[in-house]
Amino acid sequence: MKNKNETKKYVPEIPQKEIEELRNSIKTTSQKIIAENIERMKKTSKNRAKTMQYFDENANFFGQREKEIQAAKASGKKVIGYMCMFAPIELILAADAIPVRVNSGWYDASKLGDRIVPVEVCPIIRSTIGAKMIGLSPYLELSDALISVLTCDGMTKLSEILSDYKPVWTMPIPRVKDSAHATRFWREELLATKAQIEALTGNKITGKRLRSAIELTQRATKAFRRLQDIRKGAPVIMGRDAMLVNQTYMWDDIKRWTEKTEALCDELEKMAQQKMWACPPDTPRVMITGTPMIWPDNWKAPTLIEEATPQGVLVADELCSSERLLYDPVGVDEWTMDDMLNAISERYLMASTCPCFTSEDGNEDRINWLLTKVKDWKINGVIYYVVRGCMLYAMEYTRVKRVLDRLNIPVYYLDTEYTREDVGQMKTRVEAFLEMLSARVDI
C-alpha cells in the first residue's frame, strides 16, 4: 500500500482548522435554516396535525437520530449510506444494518464542491462532495460504506470522488430496462451488492430475515400510500409537511416511521371529516416534478409555492426524494430466496420512473405515471423543477410539456441553483404562474 495521500484521487489538501471552521459555520447556518423552515411550515398551515411534531423533531439533522445511530454503531451495527433510491434497502435491513440516504441539500456546501468539480456540475453532486470534504452530514459521516447507483453522469463520478473517503459500492444500472438481459444484469449487480453487504456486516442475509425486511418496507409503503391517498382530497396537509414526512424516511428507523405515519394519517382523516383544511379547499393544486429536493436547505421551491400570494398547495410530487422513494412495493410471488431477490431487483429497476431510462417510446413509463398523477390528484398545474446541471430532467421537459399541454394542464419550467440569491426572482415567476392557475380555478 502506498502512502495514503498519494492514493487520493480528487481530495484537495485543506488544513484541518479551515475544515473545522467551515463545518461549524455551515452547521450553525443549517440549524437555523431547519428551525426557520419548520417555523414557516407551521405558520403556513392553518390547521396542522399534532402528530407532525415527531417529524419536525426528526427533521433536525443534528439531533436525536444522529445520537441513536451513533449508539447503534457503538453496539456493533453497521450503517450503509446510499445516494439513489435504487439502492436495495431491503438487503441492508436484512443484514441488520441501518440504511441512510446521504445526498446533500446544503447550499453552502455546494460552493465547497466547486473546489473539486466545475460549477457546471449538478449542485446536488457538488453539495454532497462539499459536505463530505468538511464532514458536515452526520449520516454520511456515520456510514461505513456507500451504495452508489450510476444513474446519471453526476452520480457516476460522485462515487469515484467519494471513494477517496469511504468504500463505495457501485451499481451500474441499465439505461434501457425493458429487456430480459437488462433484468439479468441488474440482478447480478444486486447479488454482488448483497455479497458486499454480508461481508461488511458479517451477517448472512437469510430468507427469513429478508422476508421480514421486505414486509417492513411493504408496511412503510402502505402507510405512505395512505398518506398520498389522503392528499387526493381537499388539502388537510400542506405539501411541504408531506414532503418532510417522506424525507425523514431516508434516515429514520423505518418501523417507527411507519407507526408515526399511520398515526399522522389517522389524525388527518379525522381532520378531513371535520373539514379542518390546511388551506382553503379552492387553492390551486400544484404538482412538482423534476430534480430531487433534499432537506434541509433546498426547500425553497415548495416554500415559495405554498407561501406565495395567491397561494398554491402541493398535493403530489414526482420526485425521487419524495414520492418515488416509496410508492412501489416489493411484490413477492413465492417467499423463496430466489423470488424475493427477483422481486427486489424488479421493484428498483422496472418500477422506477427515473428519467435516466430511455426506451423506444421515450420513457413512456414516466409520462404515463405523470398523467395518472395529474388525473388522480386533480392537479391544476405542474411545476417542472430543474437545477442547473441536471441534464436528464431538463431534457425530458419538452416531452412532458407536450403531453400535459394535450390535457390542458399548464406546466412551468422553474430552473434554479443551490443558492439563496434567486429567491426574489423565483418568487415573481412562481406567483405569476399561480396567479394564472387561480384564475383558471375560478373559471
Least distance from other proteins to the Cβ atom of residue 391, Å: 23
Least distance from other proteins to the Cβ atom of residue 361, Å: 8
Is the Cβ of residue 63 or residue 174 nearer to other proteins in the bound state?
174
Least distance from other proteins to the Cβ atom of residue 194, Å: 16
Is the Cβ of residue 140 or residue 340 nearer to other proteins in the bound state?
340
Is the Cβ of residue 35 or residue 351 nearer to other proteins in the bound state?
351
Is the Cβ of residue 112 or residue 190 nearer to other proteins in the bound state?
190
- How far is the C-alpha of 414 from the C-alpha of 12, rounded, in Å? 34
Q: What is the residue whose three cell numbers read 436484512? A: 94
Is the Cβ of residue 25 or residue 179 nearer to other proteins in the bound state?
179
Least distance from other proteins to the Cβ atom of residue 37, Å: 31
- How far is the C-alpha of 57 from the C-alpha of 65, rounded, in Å? 9
Is the Cβ of residue 41 or residue 340 nearer to other proteins in the bound state?
340
Is the Cβ of residue 101 or residue 366 nearer to other proteins in the bound state?
366
Is the dihedral angle over the CA atoms 219, 220, 223, 226 positive or is it negative?
negative
Is the dihedral angle over the CA atoms 267, 272, 277, 281 positive or is it negative?
positive
Least distance from other proteins to the Cβ atom of residue 226, Å: 9
Grid coordinates given for 156: 457516476
Helix (H, G, I), strand (E, B) or coil at 149: strand
How many C-beta neighbours within 10 Å does residue 187 have? Answer: 16
Long-range contacts for 428-436 (Cβ within 8 Å, ≥24 apart)? 430/301, 430/304, 430/305, 430/308, 430/312, 430/383, 431/308, 431/309, 431/310, 433/381, 433/383, 434/284, 434/286, 434/305, 434/308, 434/310, 434/311, 434/312, 434/381, 435/310, 436/381, 436/410
Is the Cβ of residue 44 or residue 221 nearer to other proteins in the bound state?
221
- How far is the C-alpha of 323 from the C-alpha of 389, rounded, in Å? 22
Is the Cβ of residue 71 or residue 407 nearer to other proteins in the bound state?
407
Cα–Cα nearest to 211, from 333, 99, 97: 333
Can you give the binding site for other proteins, defined by CB under 8 A?
177-178, 180, 183, 207, 214-215, 218-219, 221-222, 225, 328-329, 331, 333-339, 342-343, 346-347, 350-353, 364-365, 368-369, 371-372, 375
- How far is the C-alpha of 1 from the C-alpha of 14, rounded, in Å? 23
Is the Cβ of residue 122 or residue 374 nearer to other proteins in the bound state?
374
Cα–Cα nearest to 128, from 143, 144, 142, 112: 112
Q: What is the residue whose three cell numbers read 439502492? A: 87
Least distance from other proteins to the Cβ atom of residue 216, Å: 9
User: Which residues, other chains included, contact 368 with Cβ-Cβ below 8 Å and sequence gap of 6+?
Assistant: none
- How far is the C-alpha of 283 from the C-alpha of 71, rounded, in Å? 45
Least distance from other proteins to the Cβ atom of residue 375, Å: 8
Least distance from other proteins to the Cβ atom of residue 171, Å: 18
Question: Cα 93–75–262 angle (5° rounding)?
Answer: 45
Cα–Cα nearest to 223, from 251, 250, 254: 254
